[in-house]
Structure 1
């Protein structure tokens, strides 16, 4: 399938702001800077009201910014209407015409753009074959499942051969099994159309981590972080990213300084912990220690006693194999292949996902939690509140 050349792809948000109200007092996108490279899949991830759908609609031309520019393929399209921007779009409810058959729905945009009639039939067949819907060309939307309707909406967008494809939570109406299957299909389609840039809006972190080359994390109208899924998950740069991309334990610590053998030492409730990643952490500064639950192991309470208050961390060095915290088990959740343990440590709840236990500890038991220095990240306190911009 022929696609637009690289000169027609790629998206650039150049200091874009969007505000509503008589005096523009309600800011919904604030000084947004982001570049989507040609052929890249960029996911916009964030909670409801974070500004991610607004950003998508700015690219589509449905929302005009109060300041800044939007460029597609290096061309300033800020003032252009949607139909002149060379984009395709798939929205949450698919917006299929109920009185039109599948083939007619796919043809609609082509006819609106006055595509030569001789080309339309070929494009319909091409995109329906690509999306696995060739056998349903003569059906009406009401005769299709939700997943099939989603494929038709995708075929309609692809038939335009856009340089940029916008996806606004297109899988939110599907059940978990269909959603997983469509993620696989979207990844396959992008491999077949490597020149097309995708901007994908979602609040589902699994979708973002599965499909995207990079993920932009938004909160309260601002860009908070941007990086590859692996970077954001393994080495988050803000506490918000750590908490929103995956599940994380975030513990308030005080930086002690450089540790012997490399890394940084930080104190949590009187206990010194070693962290491998803590760039820019100054001794005496407050920070946030991030460690993922599945990287925490469970062990018996050893010679390092819990003391009179088993819900607190204990002074002294961490165990030889890594860091150790002691606490009291407050809750256990069985999750199939794992048990999630909730442990009270110095008044803070710490989560540990351990491989399914035949006999989990009893509630109220004293337990020891272990994690390696290389599995923890220190987030400087200054980065947990300030927005970050990444081109």
Structure 2
């Protein structure tokens, strides 16, 4: 059974400035949990608290059933990969991968086999005798992952591991990380990123961070289709966020009555309506809104239309528009009731 990770009211402060505020979060055994958020949101601090590189001002960090809050990094049994690879330039690939094994005082006769196993897992076995300078960025990152896996950790920490790679390499490495997770189902992974595509692609669940606090947590599908907060809606995928007034059985926006599920949102309050751009259609339909085209962007397989509706700019991602509308054209857009989510003001991850 893999080791899970548990944060119990973990806070971290530097010079009186709180950078992680009372984090309560559990990464289940064998789960990939992405910490997603902008710079300064606290996600990397949370990962460093697990690694042992920062000491919480309060709270506890547990790996499995062990309280590791006061343990040094080398006694936590974790593997870690950072964005800049951190390979030793004077050591060959095989020696870089062996480094952690030697630090853990693994038997000498066992090390070569463990190194080969980790390099084969990451597709780098044929590069064992090369130096880091003889490798591409993607290859160096594979070696860094192999080094982390060689110690057979119960927990793997990945801190923005793909951010230094170009788009094509990043896509390839995403596929490789997904494959590794399938091959290592007992390893719990905490993956820090500001890139929503990485989080949506790899994670079993996503924890959304902002301003040192946990804002939301759920599966990628839950957070994308039914976000609980405006921040989640805007950070996990693109979203139209429209200010609306909730009535009895209906919602009003820009003088139009919209039919959308109101859920637990009370009648007579202001709220925010979330609709994903790809769920907005052009032409008449349910929940029709009329406005003027403010901008048209061709994005290859889609056109992104920006439509001004009563002073609010609404985005629509439309496929296969052979003749898109021109700037200033009046158009009607619509969306299905079931594709809209009503968000109450002031909802946080704590409810």
TM tier, smaller: over 0.9
1:316-331 → structure 2 map (5 Å cutoff) = 321-331=285-295
CA positional deviation for 1:74: 1.6
Is 1:289 equivalent to 2:273 in the alignment?
A: yes
1:233-244 → structure 2 map (5 Å cutoff) = 233-244=224-235
**Separation (CA, whole Å) in 2 of partners of 1:233 and 1:349:** 21
**Separation (CA, whole Å) in 1 of partners of 2:248 and 2:167:** 46
CA positional deviation for 1:389: 4.0
**2:14 corresponds to:** 20
**Separation (CA, whole Å) in 2 of partners of 1:198 and 1:76:** 18
**Separation (CA, whole Å) in 1 of partners of 2:37 and 2:170:** 19
**Separation (CA, whole Å) in 2 of partners of 1:176 and 1:285:** 44
1:1-391 → structure 2 map (5 Å cutoff) = 5-6=1-2, 9-21=3-15, 24=16, 26-258=17-249, 265-276=250-261, 278-299=262-283, 321-383=285-347, 387-389=348-350
Whether contact under 8 Å (1:56, 1:199) holds in the other structure is yes
**Separation (CA, whole Å) in 1 of partners of 2:66 and 2:350:** 22
The Cα offsets for residues 210-235 of structure 1, whole Å up to 9 and x where unpaired, read as 00000000000000000000000000
The secondary structure found in structure 2 opposite 1:236 is coil
**Separation (CA, whole Å) in 2 of partners of 1:358 and 1:135:** 49
The secondary structure found in structure 1 opposite 2:248 is strand
**Separation (CA, whole Å) in 2 of partners of 1:290 and 1:33:** 27
**Separation (CA, whole Å) in 2 of partners of 1:284 and 1:346:** 21
The Cα offsets for residues 335-379 of structure 1, whole Å up to 9 and x where unpaired, read as 001110011001000000001311111111110001000000001
**Separation (CA, whole Å) in 1 of partners of 2:266 and 2:346:** 11
**Separation (CA, whole Å) in 1 of partners of 2:320 and 2:12:** 48
CA positional deviation for 1:269: 2.0
**Separation (CA, whole Å) in 2 of partners of 1:12 and 1:195:** 16
The secondary structure found in structure 1 opposite 2:79 is strand
CA positional deviation for 1:279: 2.1
- TM-score of the two chains, using structure 2 as the length reference: 0.98
**Separation (CA, whole Å) in 1 of partners of 2:325 and 2:172:** 38
The secondary structure found in structure 2 opposite 1:275 is coil
The secondary structure found in structure 2 opposite 1:50 is coil
CA positional deviation for 1:91: 0.3
**Separation (CA, whole Å) in 1 of partners of 2:60 and 2:76:** 14
Whether contact under 8 Å (1:34, 1:389) holds in the other structure is no
Structure of higher CA gyration radius:
1
Whether contact under 8 Å (2:228, 2:349) holds in the other structure is no
**Separation (CA, whole Å) in 2 of partners of 1:159 and 1:389:** 38
The secondary structure found in structure 2 opposite 1:98 is coil
- Work out the number of aligned pairs and report it: 351
CA positional deviation for 1:280: 1.1
The secondary structure found in structure 1 opposite 2:101 is helix
Over 3 Å off, 4+ runs: none
- TM-score of the two chains, using structure 1 as the length reference: 0.89
CA positional deviation for 1:59: 0.2
For structure 1, the residue ranges without an aligned partner over 5 or more in a row are 259-264, 301-320
Whether contact under 8 Å (1:336, 1:356) holds in the other structure is no
For structure 2, the residue ranges without an aligned partner over 5 or more in a row are none
**Separation (CA, whole Å) in 2 of partners of 1:257 and 1:208:** 38
